[in-house]
Structure formats: structure tokens, C-alpha cells
Amino acid sequence: MGSYYGVKADKLRRHYKKDISGFNNWDQKDHSEEYLYFSVNMGEYLSLDETSLSQGELYTYLTNKESKGKKGSLIASIKGTKAKEITKIITKIPLAKRIKVKEVTIDMARNMEAAVKACFPNAQIVTDRFHVVKLVLDSVQHLRVKLRWKAIDQENEAIKEAKSNGKRFKPKEFENGDTLKQLLARSRYILAKKEKNWTENQKQRAIILFQEFPELKKAYEHCMQLRNVYENTSKVRAEIQLNKWIEKTTELKIEQFYTAANSINYNKVNILNFFNNRSTNASAESFNSKIKLFRANLRGVSDLKFFLFRLTKLFA
């Protein structure tokens, strides 16, 4: 635009910031780095999530799902993730509007749950299904990584022994051309996908993987059983399956699942609330992606207050 009018880009930016944008007269400018809130954007179905804005500093965002990530989405922006800080700002919004909130989706963070309970007395809390599934997928990946490091150590020992005997070490290759450590490294995406979505090469690799590591097959199948819980349309049936899954975790004796099972058990009520309206935190994740894209287009954040001002123009 600057080149079209024969104006230097820096001069045009300064002119926009100081004279055209209205930034200097912004009523929330003084406290924008600490918090922002827009009561007018309140709705009945909300999302609460955090994202990094600049230099790894985390901000908590309260968004309205009904606005679908467009103008009117942003309800509040709060620096930090402590429940006390979040509550202090959100309670600036009139109680008459907050008691109308029916549902808030969050991740599995306890601080978010505490803030929602304090700010929205009538709201049902829903733990996002994708965070639950990711927690269990990570458990499978932890087992895979553990086995991979073990395979690397074994190969290093074999190389050392071969050298001491004046021989050249050649690792065993499976029918698909993978060595043991390559098999484990290349199985990352296989273990994150459902079997019906595997390609022919992935099917072949999975067969070899599960033959070599039966415990990994058990872990994968257990993970898929948790994902299948979300296929239910009945909350009652989902609860029965979820309880069985938690019990089976103990029976399998795969330690990587213990933390995930405990977390799911502690958050079970909020997890099962998903089956009331099948709500997720996807809108919040989409909003976070838009913020990151906006930040990337600006090549970083040099002036945080002005960045937040422009953000509110787009989403508030």
C-alpha cells in the first residue's frame, strides 16, 4: 500500500498507529497487557484456553463459541494462567451475564476448572475430548520411545562387541527393510492413527511391530478402546465403558498408562459432560491458531499493546 502511494512503509505504519487506528484513544490501553474484557461478547457456550503471545508469556483467553472465531469471539484476555488472576478479571463482567452461561469447555488443567467454578456458577464444565485422547496417545508414545532407547542401547552394545572381535556389525533387517530401531522410530504415526486409516506400508510395519513388541500392541489396542468410548451417543453407556477402561488399565500393568488413567478418573464427571452436547474446545484451538497466524504475519510482536489493540479490532 505504501509503495502504491509512494510512501515509505515505516512512515505509513507510524501514521496508521498514531493517527488512523484510534490506538491512542483506546479505553483499555493502560491495562491491556494485564487484561482485557468485553462484556458485550458474552454468550451461553464458552471456551477457556491459554496461548503464548510473546517471548513465551502465557495468556488465558475466554471466547464465545457462537461467534465461530470471528468478530465478537473474544470475551476476555488475561495475562497468566493462575485461577486467582483469571477469576479476578472475569468477575468484572456483571454477574447477571455470567449466571446465564450454560457450558464452558476447558482442557484438563485444574486451574481452569477452579476459575470456571468461581466465575460461572450455573455452567456445566466439559473437558475437551481431544486433550483426553492426546493424554492416552502420549502414554503409548512414551512406551514406544522407551522401547526405542532400549533397542538403541542393544545395538550400541552389539556394535561394541563386534568391534572388539574385529568384525563388522550388520543390524537385522525385517522384510520391509527396517532395522529394529528404525521400526520403532517410523511407527510413531501408525500408533496415533486408527487401523482403518493405515496405508498398506503402515499395515505391514504394524504387523512386524506388534510381532516384535506384543506389549506395544496391547497399549495400542487399549488406547483405541478409550477413543471408542467417544463413539457412544449415550452418556450412561459411555460411563460404563470408561469405568471398564480405567479398571483394565490396572490389569494390563503398563505403567505408562497409570498417570493417564488417574487423570481421567479425577476428571471423569467433566469428561462425561461431553456426551450432553458433544462440545469440544476446537473453537478455542482455532482461535489460538488465528492469533499465531496473525503474529507470524506481523513477523513477531514488537509492541505488545498495539498487537493486542489490533487483535481486539479483529476478534472483539
pLDDT in tens, 69-123: 788 889 999 999 999 999 999 999 999 999 999 999 998 889 999 999 999 999 9
* Residue 20 pLDDT: 66
* Residue 57 pLDDT: 84
Q: What is the pTM of this model?
A: 0.85
Instruction: State the alpha helices, DSSP H only, in 62-212.
Output: 83-90, 95-98, 110-119, 129-164, 180-185, 188-192, 200-212
* Residue 166 pLDDT: 83
* Residue 202 pLDDT: 94
Parse the chain into domains and list their residue ranges. 1-27, 31-128+280-315, 129-277
d(CA 116, CA 30): 26
Alpha-carbon distances, residue 306 vs 158, 262, 287, 298, 302 (angstroms): 59, 43, 19, 12, 9
- Give every residue of the chain whose pLDDT is below 50, as ranges: none
* Residue 133 pLDDT: 95
Strands laid side by side in the 45-54 sheet: 35-37, 74-79, 57-64, 45-54, 103-106, 124-127
d(CA 149, CA 266): 31
* Residue 115 pLDDT: 95
Cell of 10: 515505516
* Residue 307 pLDDT: 83
2 contacts 12 by C-beta, under 8 angstroms? yes
CATH of domain 31-128+280-315: 3.30.420.10
Q: Which residue has the cell 469428561?
A: 271
